[in-house]
Amino acid sequence: MDIERLPMSEISNEGVRIAYLDAGPRDGYPVLLIHGFASTAHVNWVFTGWVRALSQAGYRVVALDNRGHGNSTKLHDAKDYTPELMASDSLALLDHLAIGQAHVMGYSMGARLSAFVAFAAPELVRTLVFGGLGSGMTDGVGKWGLVAEALLAPSIDDVSNEQGRAFRAFADQTKSDRQALAACIESSRKLVLPAELAKLDMPSLVAVGTRDDIAGSASSLAEKLPNGRAFDILNRDHMLAVGDRTYKAAVVEFYQESHIQ
């Protein structure tokens, strides 16, 4: 399952085509997965083993390609990538699938979008997992303007900034629409206010690699959540933490605890 591509379907949200996959037992409790910037549902969740791990644990797994990514509509105007609009794609998908409540997990940009899903419809979110994003959600982190420049550069050889080169290489690897990604990074990085996080009282887990120099502190963000806890993904950087087996085990245990309570 982690090597082959899974079949995808699509919905339309206000004219924006959103591709998604729906895997695992249909009678399992649903988990909505929201991928990170320049990634896709397959790259972030299938190829890293998440879909298999959650399916084997008995969960129904729904994962979308965010607008501007993967098989979803590519838009080149930054105004189409506010976190509120991007979160509305996930909400439209849950509505389309008649899912009344789900565990919601996002990685990096997807973690930020998960927060906006919960702000818009807290009743739909049983638990939150913020992967690959800690205090950067509230404080900001990284020189993302340089990332946008790197994405639009004629060649990766023209990019000197280390973070910009990393994301440009990732975008090239995933064969992404770099103009769409540049528009996305301009508008999707809206900071979350601590007062907003204080309203999210569902169980929440913040998981960040101990070598991640992009995400910020996991414990700092967890402390701002009424029912939050932190998990350190040991010896992993931003790119490698997402597929870590200890991260998967911690999330499955977290989900199991939420069903016991």
Question: Taking a C-beta distance cutoff of 8 angstroms, is the pair 118, 202 a contact?
Answer: yes
In a domain, residue 146? The reply is no
Q: What is the pLDDT of residue 3?
A: 57
Question: Taking a C-beta distance cutoff of 8 angstroms, is the pair 185, 151 a contact?
Answer: yes
Q: Which residue has the higher pLDDT, 1 or 242?
A: 242
Return the DSSP state at 158: G
Q: What is the pLDDT of residues 179-189, one digit of tens each?
A: 999 999 988 88
Q: What is the pLDDT of residue 140?
A: 85
Domain enclosing residue 207, as ranges: 9-139+190-260
Give the integer Cα–Cα distance in Å for 129 and 186.
24
When pLDDT is cut at 50, 70 and 90, the band that residue 260 belongs to is confident
Q: What is the pLDDT of residue 207?
A: 98
- Name, in order, each residue with C-beta under 8 angstroms of 216's C-beta and a sequence gap of 6 or more: 133, 134, 135, 136, 137, 139, 141, 208
Mean pLDDT of 128-140: 96
In a domain, residue 171? The reply is no
Number of separate domains in the chain = 1
Is the whole-model pTM more than 0.75? yes
Q: What is the pLDDT of residue 186?
A: 87
Q: What is the pLDDT of residue 32?
A: 99
Give the integer Cα–Cα distance in Å for 2 and 187.
32
Instruction: Flag whether pLDDT at 23 surpasses 60.
Output: yes
Instruction: Flag whether pLDDT at 1 surpasses 50.
Output: no
When pLDDT is cut at 50, 70 and 90, the band that residue 2 belongs to is very low
Give the integer Cα–Cα distance in Å for 10 and 218.
34
In a domain, residue 92? The reply is yes
Q: What is the pLDDT of residues 203-247, one digit of tens each?
A: 999 999 999 998 999 999 999 999 999 999 999 999 999 999 999
Largest interatomic CA distance in the chain: 53
In a domain, residue 147? The reply is no
Q: Which residue has the higher pLDDT, 119 or 140?
A: 119
Q: What is the pLDDT of residue 162?
A: 86
Q: What is the pLDDT of residues 152-186, one digit of tens each?
A: 999 999 999 888 898 899 889 888 999 999 999 98
In a domain, residue 163? The reply is no
Mean pLDDT of 112-128: 98
Q: What is the pLDDT of residues 71-107, one digit of tens each?
A: 999 999 999 999 999 999 999 999 999 999 999 999 9
In a domain, residue 131? The reply is yes
In a domain, residue 253? The reply is yes
Q: What is the pLDDT of residue 146?
A: 86
Instruction: Flag whether pLDDT at 147 surpasses 80.
Output: yes
In a domain, residue 202? The reply is yes
Give the integer Cα–Cα distance in Å for 151 and 170.
10
Q: What is the pLDDT of residues 33-44, one digit of tens each?
A: 999 999 999 999
Share of the chain above pLDDT 90, in %: 85
Q: What is the pLDDT of residue 45?
A: 98
CATH of the domain at 46: 3.40.50.1820
